[in-house]
Structure 1
Amino acid sequence: MRSGMVLGDLRVQKLTRSGGGSSYTILGPDASVVGEADDFLREYDGRGTQKTYAYHLVDHLRWRQREQLTTETITLRDLHRYMGAVGANVAMPFGQPWRTPPKCPYNASALQVTASCLKGFYLHRSGLGVNPALGVALAVRRLPTRADRDRSLLGHTLTSVSANPLAPKSGPSRRHPKMLPDGAAVELLAAVTSARDKLVVTWLSDTALRVGGLAGLHLVDLHLRPDAGCGECKSPHLHVCHRPGNPNEAAAKTKPDWRFRDGVVSGGEIVRVSPAMISSYFEYMTTEYQSFASDHGMLLIQLFGLARGEPWTTDGVRGMLRRAGKKAALPGRIKPHAFRHTFTSAVLDASGGDLLVAKTAGNWSSVKTVDEIYGHPDLHSPEFISALRQVWGEEE
């Protein structure tokens, strides 16, 4: 617990809707809804952003409480101090770091989210007549960049775009993802013992599935025979469909339209399936799934405990991979998303650097994203070394 905070602190409350979805709000020490936070979060109801903003906002409100500030009295300088307290590089004294290890400081991505959340929250309150001076300070604009013009429908007419004075300065655009250790998939398959766990390792290794998409799969989403009834892919494939009402709360990140008609799923994200994936599926279905599964229709099930046979959660998948990595003596912590990075990088290498192939194989949002993350040369590749030697005059 943070110093200075007591039991009954502000907290995020999850609310389950009648349709199976979830909403998030913030409760005070007396379990009453914090009205100003709830009004802001309602704007994002039904979207994943709401949960993210709720946890970032509650942390800020706790800090504000400690600093004895309110929406009416807080200033732009105070918000910069808060950004410094959670890890941003600010040119001012900001006092004691707010978050303690292992959750401090925020990484670069979390700082960007925090800046967006705070700007949105205080602009929302300013629009209601609360602290209008802060609203003016936050509502700044800047000249558009080429990227801004490219994203806009009528980019050539742009004269200015909205800016965020709280956002930390961005560094180089190229990112370096965390890959799996060399040979990790083979080592993990040797370390796990159940058919379900082998299926998870194989399916993560041979696709760019996210853990939410994998844990959210239903049996009807799997078209593992050629020429499936959906007519959208002749080869074996699966459909990753966003279902906010899954009993294990697993949901796909992206939300393309999908439908279930005449017993056949179509739409969603279509992912090609390897022969090894099909083999692991049939081993799992004819053993553990057949023995324990109930009638929920989801792919991954729990194998032990009172909830045996019920849908397996994303936390369960992460825990299994973490334990398997330790058992296999692999360096670092094995995380599901590392499989996605490793798979996309391998496809890019195998395709000769074809960004479009890598984008399609990994269901990435754009070729630009793939280029920024993976489009860099291998410093040990023969082509790279040969190019350097030619520049150095060692080769003709």
Structure 2
Amino acid sequence: MFWLRHSTGDGSPVAAGPGSEPVRGPRRINTVLAGVREFLTHGTTLGTVPTFVLSQLYEVADDRDLPMQARGEGSHLRYYAKARHRAAEPQEPVGRASDEEVLALLRACRSARDRFIVLLLARTGLRRSEAVGMRREDIHFILDASVLGCRIPGSHLHVVRRDNDNGAWAKSKRSRAVPVDFLLVQAYDQYVVERDTCLEARDSDFVLVNLFRPPLGAPMPPGALNDLFDRLSRRAGLADGVHPHALRHGFASNAADAGAVLDEIADLLGHASAASSQVYLHPDPQRLRSAVERVAALAPRRNG
């Protein structure tokens, strides 16, 4: 660990003292260590590396310290191999996008497509790759989708994992349907009218396509949403900027503030476990105050 942090790898002596800058960051160190562990583990299966080496790389841990939601079904103890060596990576928390920030982004939009994108992420919690990977067949914005062969009631969209030409990739293998409200349906209708004016876009099955820069009609790549939100944030005067993923956090938090329970939020976000959704919840301060105020005031209680 020390060598990876401070050695340049050119054979020169490692000179590290107080205040010295590391050569490699924690993420790079962990990437190297993961490769070494896999290489040596493979070597033990081939018999070219002694099996005792694995005990130097891993320790046996159990799931007693894991959250209840992460333990799975059953009451018996589960064991797993935990890497002994891992550099601590600094966490960069993503906050929720506030309603005021979403409104500011919408006011900064100059096209129906951009307004639809902002509302799509804010009102459904889609990941950026899920958004740009959507096809027109995934949009079921009608009250009775049975005419399309779909059993999901009400207006909704489908998130489907596909191998897309634009590099978009839905993280979850499990397809899901996400209900939508009238605001998103209205924004989509306006976008369809705008999209139809671009002749090159008419033959594309992707929902989100290039309308204002070449190649016209081509599906937007995931990175294009980052660029879009950077421009909108600057135009809206948002000093800290709003990342697309912050709208996903905002959606989950708004759903919780409105009374949705954790398993509902997990399904909407496409999480396999409800525990994964907890990091997306940033309760509104007023909801925290209401929770405290709902607790009965201290008073002597009579028995019997």
TM-score normalised by structure 1 residue count: 0.62
> 1:329 is matched with which residue: 210, 230, 237?
237
1:287 equivalent in structure 2? 194
Q: Which amino acid aligns with 1:195?
A: A
Q: Identify the range of structure 1 (293-302 vs 162-171) with the bigger mean alpha-carbon deviation.
A: 162-171
Once the two structures are TM-superposed, the CA of residue 129 in structure 1 deviates from its matched residue by 4.9
Once the two structures are TM-superposed, the CA of residue 290 in structure 1 deviates from its matched residue by 3.8
- Quickly say closer, same or farther: Cα 1:63–1:331, change in 2 above 3 A: same
Once the two structures are TM-superposed, the CA of residue 283 in structure 1 deviates from its matched residue by 1.1
Is 1:231 equivalent to 2:150 in the alignment? Answer: yes
1:252 equivalent in structure 2? 170
> 1:151 is matched with which residue: 66, 71, 76?
71
> Would the aligned equivalents of 1:63 and 1:98 in 2 still touch at CA under 8 Å?
yes
Q: Per-residue displacement from partner, 1:61-80 (whole Å, max 9, x unpaired)?
A: x98994259xxxxxxxxxxx
Is 1:210 equivalent to 2:127 in the alignment? Answer: yes
- Quickly say closer, same or farther: Cα 1:302–1:364, change in 2 above 3 A: same
Once the two structures are TM-superposed, the CA of residue 131 in structure 1 deviates from its matched residue by 5.3
Once the two structures are TM-superposed, the CA of residue 124 in structure 1 deviates from its matched residue by 2.4
What is the alpha-carbon root mean square deviation over aligned residues?
3.8
Once the two structures are TM-superposed, the CA of residue 371 in structure 1 deviates from its matched residue by 3.7
Is 1:270 equivalent to 2:177 in the alignment? Answer: yes
Q: Which amino acid aligns with 1:251?
A: W
Secondary structure at 1:140 match in 2: strand
Once the two structures are TM-superposed, the CA of residue 386 in structure 1 deviates from its matched residue by 2.9
Measure the CA separation in 2 of the matches of 1:143 and 1:364: 23
Task: Flag the structure with more relative contact order, 1 or 2, with Cα contacts below 8 A and sequence separation at least 6.
Answer: 2
Measure the CA separation in 2 of the matches of 1:364 and 1:191: 31
Is 1:199 equivalent to 2:116 in the alignment? Answer: yes
> 1:123 is matched with which residue: 27, 35, 41?
41
Q: Identify the range of structure 1 (358-367 vs 272-281) with the bigger mean alpha-carbon deviation.
A: 358-367
> Would the aligned equivalents of 1:347 and 1:361 in 2 still touch at CA under 8 Å?
no
- Quickly say closer, same or farther: Cα 1:207–1:197, change in 2 above 3 A: same
> Would the aligned equivalents of 2:253 and 2:283 in 1 still touch at CA under 8 Å?
no
2:23 equivalent in structure 1? 98
Secondary structure at 2:157 match in 1: strand
Once the two structures are TM-superposed, the CA of residue 141 in structure 1 deviates from its matched residue by 1.5
- Quickly say closer, same or farther: Cα 1:290–1:232, change in 2 above 3 A: farther
> Would the aligned equivalents of 2:7 and 2:23 in 1 still touch at CA under 8 Å?
no
1:265 equivalent in structure 2? none
Written as runs of structure 1 = structure 2, the 5 A alignment for 1:352-363 is 354-363=261-270
Q: Per-residue displacement from partner, 1:56-104 (whole Å, max 9, x unpaired)?
A: xxxxxx98994259xxxxxxxxxxx9xxx9xxxxxx99974234xxxx5
Number of corresponding residues: 288
Secondary structure at 2:293 match in 1: helix
Secondary structure at 2:102 match in 1: helix
Stretches of structure 1 that go unaligned for 5 or more consecutive residues are 1-61, 70-80, 86-91, 257-267
Q: Which amino acid aligns with 1:291?
A: C
2:302 equivalent in structure 1? none
Once the two structures are TM-superposed, the CA of residue 238 in structure 1 deviates from its matched residue by 1.1
Once the two structures are TM-superposed, the CA of residue 332 in structure 1 deviates from its matched residue by 1.3
Once the two structures are TM-superposed, the CA of residue 251 in structure 1 deviates from its matched residue by 1.5
Q: Which amino acid aligns with 2:23?
A: W
Measure the CA separation in 1 of the matches of 2:116 and 2:278: 30
Once the two structures are TM-superposed, the CA of residue 333 in structure 1 deviates from its matched residue by 2.6
Once the two structures are TM-superposed, the CA of residue 218 in structure 1 deviates from its matched residue by 0.6
Once the two structures are TM-superposed, the CA of residue 325 in structure 1 deviates from its matched residue by 0.5
Stretches of structure 2 that go unaligned for 5 or more consecutive residues are 300-304
Is 1:319 equivalent to 2:227 in the alignment? Answer: yes
Once the two structures are TM-superposed, the CA of residue 247 in structure 1 deviates from its matched residue by 1.7
Once the two structures are TM-superposed, the CA of residue 326 in structure 1 deviates from its matched residue by 0.9
Q: Which amino acid aligns with 2:102?
A: A
> Would the aligned equivalents of 2:172 and 2:270 in 1 still touch at CA under 8 Å?
no
Q: Per-residue displacement from partner, 1:179-237 (whole Å, max 9, x unpaired)?
A: 11450111111101011111101111111111000000011111111221233311011
> 2:253 is matched with which residue: 339, 345, 349?
345
Measure the CA separation in 2 of the matches of 1:279 and 1:376: 28
Once the two structures are TM-superposed, the CA of residue 121 in structure 1 deviates from its matched residue by 3.8
- Quickly say closer, same or farther: Cα 1:140–1:364, change in 2 above 3 A: closer
> Would the aligned equivalents of 2:26 and 2:89 in 1 still touch at CA under 8 Å?
no
Once the two structures are TM-superposed, the CA of residue 378 in structure 1 deviates from its matched residue by 3.4
1:187 equivalent in structure 2? 104
Once the two structures are TM-superposed, the CA of residue 140 in structure 1 deviates from its matched residue by 2.7
- Quickly say closer, same or farther: Cα 1:202–1:154, change in 2 above 3 A: closer
Measure the CA separation in 2 of the matches of 1:64 and 1:128: 32
Secondary structure at 2:178 match in 1: strand
